[in-house]
Amino acid sequence: MSSCGSSSLFCCETGIRTRPSGLCTFASIPSLLFTFREQPQHHTLSFSFRKPLKLVMSQPLILNSATVEEPEDSSLFDYHRIDEKLLQSIVNDALVWSALNCLLVGDRSVQRSGTVPGVGLVHLPLSLLPTPLPQSYWKQACELAPIFNELVDREIRMGIMRSDYMIDEKTKSLLQIEINTISSSYAAFGSLMTGLHKSLLSDYGKHLGLDSQRVPSNNAGDQSAEALAKAWTEYNNPRAVVLVVVQEWRARLLMEQSSAIKCPSISYHLVGTKKIQQELAKPGVLERFVENKDHIAKLRACFAGLWSLEDSDIVKKAIENPELFVLKPQREGGGNNIYGDALRETLLKLQESGSREDAAYILMQRIFPASCPAILVRNGNWDKGHTITEVGIFSTYLRNKDKVIINNESGYTLRTKMSSSNEGGVAAGFGVLDTVYLT
């Protein structure tokens, strides 16, 4: 690790996180072994390698009553109506595709998983079919990516980030959940999920009334790698290497003190914290960093309500109406947000203590997205449920002094969870990966 101080080093953190529970997630590097929290009763998966059902059935498969002929209506996306024989066939093909294309993670219930390559693998938790998203919201989210890149970049030279959004059913608005400057994971898996859904719709689309061309292409994994390669080229030293840091803080300090290109730098890391996002949402703050008035308007349009706990009026409102707010600590990875009665109790305790501990939290407007019928697949088993979805738009940025070399929207990922769940996070065990179906 001592070589981190040399001038021929390029350092990068790629969304790799270690949690106190011992659960690790690795993103954007398909060759690594991935470990997730899985149910212990499932130890192995066996795949029946066979032709797709559509090639061997003489009669068209149906959605319980009739083959869909209309081009597009809301009933097309009521996946709960799919005939169970067809549904099981799609699930089987999804499992086969996942095995053949490395859409796999380590299964913690298998003792040697994570220690012996290729042992104890299971498919990634996934949504069987893509989730519908109006094209206008999709376009808005993609257009915001390069604007956020410019907003975040003040001192840093390179960034790979992911901005997460939900569509609020009450206001019919695309609202930002958060911007991830370090934990921007699932680029490579997101690309694989797109491949899976395109493949399934190519095979079964005529039976479902769905068109695989409506699933937007997604090369997030490639674009992240290309940005790193371009940064290496800009470093202009053929002996330079890319160092991937897995949250070793001593190495992180050494990296920051070196002349390496940091992805992210410590300042970039801090910009992704919830407190900084709350400060940016204050009136007049964006104007200090963004000159283009059209860009300012686009950024403000996607900001959900964000407040410091120093605002006594908003804290009072949150105590009186906790269902309208989310209390967020400065932590990552899912499972940390506070809702409902627990939110009220936490705010009251913070008020009583009179300490500065309240600075570790922000209040956010709670977003109420519309739910959608979905089929969720875990450990080879499928379940029907009503779900909500979070859209993550990746972006890449590279600047050399005043010259902007890369500033792109760079693919996407969707994370879908049961509508009854407050928390998200695929690695935390709450959600599954998904893709977009444009409507």
Binding residues, by number, are 162, 178, 180, 213, 274, 328-337, 339, 364-367, 390, 415, 417, 423
> What residue numbers does the annotated binding site for ATP cover?
178, 274, 328-337, 339, 364-367, 390, 417, 423
Calpha distance 124→34 (Å, rounded): 9
Dihedral of CA atoms 398, 401, 402, 407 in degrees, nearest 10, equals: 0
**What angle, 0 to 180 degrees and rounded to 10, lies between the N-to-C axes of helices 135-152 and 293-302?**
120
Dihedral of CA atoms 430, 362, 389, 103 in degrees, nearest 10, equals: -50
> What residue numbers does the annotated binding site for Mg(2+) cover?
178, 180, 332
Token couple for 271: 């910009």
Pairing of strands 372-378, 361-365: unpaired
Sign of CA dihedral 203, 206, 209, 214: positive
Whether 195 and 413 have beta carbons less than 8 Å apart is answered as no
Token couple for 181: 């400057």
> What residue numbers does the annotated binding site for substrate cover?
162, 213, 415
Pairing of strands 372-378, 381-400: antiparallel
Q: What is the CA radius of gyration of the chain?
A: 23
Calpha distance 424→219 (Å, rounded): 24
Residue 340, classed as helix, strand or coil, is helix
Three-state helix/strand/coil letters over 364-426? EECCCCCCEEEEEEECCEEEEEEEEEEEEEEEEEEEECCEEEEEEEEEEEEEEEECCCCCCCC
347-350, long-range: CB < 8 A, 24+ apart? 347/309, 347/315, 347/318, 347/319, 348/319, 350/309
Whether 195 and 101 have beta carbons less than 8 Å apart is answered as yes
